[in-house]
Amino acid sequence: MQFPFLQTARSRGSSLNLRNKTVLGRIAALTVALLLFCGFAIAQSFPKNPQRDSARATDFSVHLFFEASGELSPNIFTLEEFGVWNFSAQWKGNNGGKFSGFLVRVKLQSNSPKDVFAQGRVAQLILRDRKTKKMLVTWNISDVYVDDKGVSFRGQFFSNLDCQLMEATLTSGGAQITRDLPFACGE
């Protein structure tokens, strides 16, 4: 490809030729910089993480299973003056009673206006010993269906952990919620 201004520069001498090459180099550099800038601008306009069938865990509650009635307690995190000692729960206005096992209920949400089936792991709940930080149980929540209302729940019953000071940590989409489970025992 030939450029007419380059041919004119050659006929005038080497100093003009050098000047035109410098100008041509600057034009080429500016063109490359402009193309890169436009490419980055276009790339930024697209969402980094498209909302493709996504759901995430946003909260969790814990409900004790009472042996005498077969009923579940209210969410222990909302009870005033909640306490457990030797498999027996009590809180303000109620003696609760003896329990064995507890249900963890995880709230899942989606911002999609339609039904969503989020494949793969969506959340993870880890129960750890509060003193040693030793992992006791891990529950992976995966392949979640959330209807067009945007809210769904998953539940898991845990047993043989009723006499343990624990912390429960729910992780989902980079967010983390940690709460204490004060299931104390003693003589």
Q: How confident is the model at residue 115 (pLDDT cuts 50, 70, 90)?
A: very high
Average pLDDT on 45-73 reads 80
Helix (H) or strand (E) holding 105: strand 94-109
The CATH code that applies to domain 56-184 is: 2.60.40
pTM as predicted: 0.69
Helix (H) or strand (E) holding 121: strand 116-129
**pLDDT above 90: percentage of residues in the chain:** 58
Give the separation between CA 173 and CA 150, rounded to whole angstroms: 16
Q: How confident is the model at residue 97 (pLDDT cuts 50, 70, 90)?
A: confident
Task: Write the pLDDT tens digit of every residue in 33-58.
Answer: 776 666 666 656 544 444 455 899 99
Encoding tokens for residue 81? 């003056």
For 185, phi and psi rounded to 5 degrees? Answer: -140, 160
Where do the domains of the chain lie? Answer: 4-45, 56-184
Write down the mean pLDDT value for the chain. 84
Residue 51 confidence (pLDDT):
45
**pLDDT for 1 beyond 50:** yes
For 182, phi and psi rounded to 5 degrees? Answer: -85, 65
More confident residue, 34 or 126: 126
